[in-house]
Structure 1
Amino acid sequence: MTAGGTHRRAPRKESTNPMTLVFSGWSVLSPFGGGRADFERGIRSGASALRAADPGPDRSPITRVGLVRDFEVREALGSNGTRAMDRLTGLAVKTVGQVLDELPAPANDGADTALVLGTTTGSLRSMMEFVKDSFIQDRPFQVDPARFPNAVMNRAAGQCAIWHGLRGPNTTIAGGRAAGVAVLQYAARLFQRDRAQMVLCGMAEEFSPHRAWVEYLGADDTDRPLGEGCAVFALESAASARSAGRGAVAELVRVRQGVWSAGAPVREVLSRLLRSMLESAGIEADEVAVAMVSGTATTDPWAGFSAGEVAAVRDVLPRTAIRSIADLVGDAGAATGGFQLAALLDANPAVSQPYSLMTSVDLDGVVGCVLIRHYGPTGAKR
């Protein structure tokens, strides 16, 4: 007991379960800049990375955007093999490379390294421009064949594997704003079935006038800031990280997904998922330091479902701090979950609150949540 007579929580022992899944490395390309350090500085400053949209010939209906600054595919990756590479693929290939470079020891020769990449549709710009060419050229078949692969949803994931020699399972998940949750859940299943030794979990989205118009019309002509970027996380078992001398940033504790509808609103479904997740993990609400929501943490003029998202967190975690990055980088689509998780991994909660979580809600009816446990500076559990 402390001097005041209250009980002090005993330090938690590190798990001896070798199949505990941990994040051993991560990187992100975001509107804050071209790497993890830029993202960390931006999040800590709390300054918005949004700026006025370019009023050039490809005018979009969106007045503010969060673009990855100074990112050009050929400058970032070189001229070899990038002539027809779209922006989404370039963002993903670059970020995967940054994560692999960051790891203090190679995972393996690539044979047991999987990649799971979350997206909305792939490169919407590539799809629309390829189809447009089939209409405006003299003949429908007079299109640039080199650009066709960009119109396929799994182009980015495939290129990541080719560029970096990843020979494990290669998967693309179309999850929209909730892609981050779906990617982590899929990755956990790969480990459960012994399909990979390490899984690179990525979430990517590009900005283009094409996407801006689709989002604008889909939101009833609402001008809401849009962002872009890519985040990639190295997920592996605690035993694998330990044997390779890689430190762990945090532990993936639980992932939950559900479906909301008019008959089952976001608040109701997400509250149930959060309670189930905490109960199955044996976690008390007071042990959760931060809840990172996918919408805004206050009033959200973008979409009504964000109010239900925040309300659900308040129902289950009344004293937990609620945060959001949407006001700083805009609606980043499939990259939203990656930015949320990166912001959580950058946090440094108190020892008495070693957990944090993120929630995701997509307009198409998907809702989910992820619980992580933070590790100390030396890799020990908090």
Structure 2
Amino acid sequence: MSELQDMFEKFPLLLPSNDNTVWIGVVLLKSQYQQVEIICPSFPNIENIQFNISTYENFNLDQFELNKIIEQFSKNANVLPEFLSSLIDVLNKSTGLLTLPQVNISHKINQDRFCSIIQEIKIWDKYVYDIEENLCFVTYKINDESGRQHSIKIHIPIEYPAIKKSLEFDATIPTFFMNSLLKINIISGLFEEFKNIIATLSHFWDLHDEIVNTCNLIGTYSLADVKYRIPIEKHVIAIIEIDPINHLSLPRIELYGRIEDTDKFQKRLNKFELNSIWSTDKSFKDNLMELFEIKDLASQYEEIENPIEEFEQNSNYCFICYGDLDKNSKKHTKVCANNKCDAVYHMSCICEWMLNSGSTPAFKHLQGKCPQCEEKLLVALEDFDIMKKN
């Protein structure tokens, strides 16, 4: 057993700093909980250790005697758990007044609140990754069946647990499952539900990894995503939405592109009973290729032998709305700066896209990413209708 684990087991109401060199909390002295601060610069070794206590009841020791005991135990004990156990045993056996000067402990705590929260946190102590010194946040980490690590960081309100309300947290899971977590107002209950969600989603995330690694996705994705942008042909994108609970079932599919490009694929989707084509025995990519009757998925990026000629061929429609572009009014169009991407946009379309993606106008410009390849784009807003709308 490590010294850190030993401290957690023997002194469950002491809270360590991130580097374990300062421990703050309460210990049982004279049948009462006393707030203490232990400074252990060389944890777990006890060189230059300091032991501070905020209030003093009846101890038959003075400062000089206590210092002698600390010095003696420092020689006889090698690590903090052993030292602290011996010191507390001596203090509990002493009677009389401990004439220590008043000590200013850096972090004052509400003892009842502290004890209650720490005891609740440690219901799932094997998953505790970090507890912030001021007890505002606790972070749990857990692995799913495939070894992926997941974490949830829970904000602990100052009024908790006296007043319980829905807890705020940071976690990366699909939105559908977020709703169940948002209703929980108990730390241990919130982590337990998170733990159950991780177990439920483990096989869905196996599929997620397969899609990310094999399907030439456009954009970047996290474990919270259930929709994927997959290029079927150079100018046809399929938006695939997976049901994370029934992840092997036929996904929802929407096609985006010019009508002349998407028409043949849409007819195929409308013609066949898709459930008869989609098989749980095949890979996701193989299912897509059979569904659309193609030999392979398109690449996310394609080398352009002549970028200028390619731009002239494809600059007659907007890659967002697929409407016609006016080549004679180039100031109202925006071209992606990536020379491997041939995307061109109506200025109003790309501005609306960026605004809907969370971009905020600054100095009459919008900064965002190309919807096609995610290259960074900077768009000037002056003289455009989008400014009037906002």
If the length of structure 1 is used for normalisation, what is the TM-score? 0.21
Q: Indicate the structure (1 or 2) with the bigger Cα radius of gyration.
A: 2
Higher RCO structure, 1 or 2 (CA under 8 Å, sep 6+): 1
If the length of structure 2 is used for normalisation, what is the TM-score? 0.21
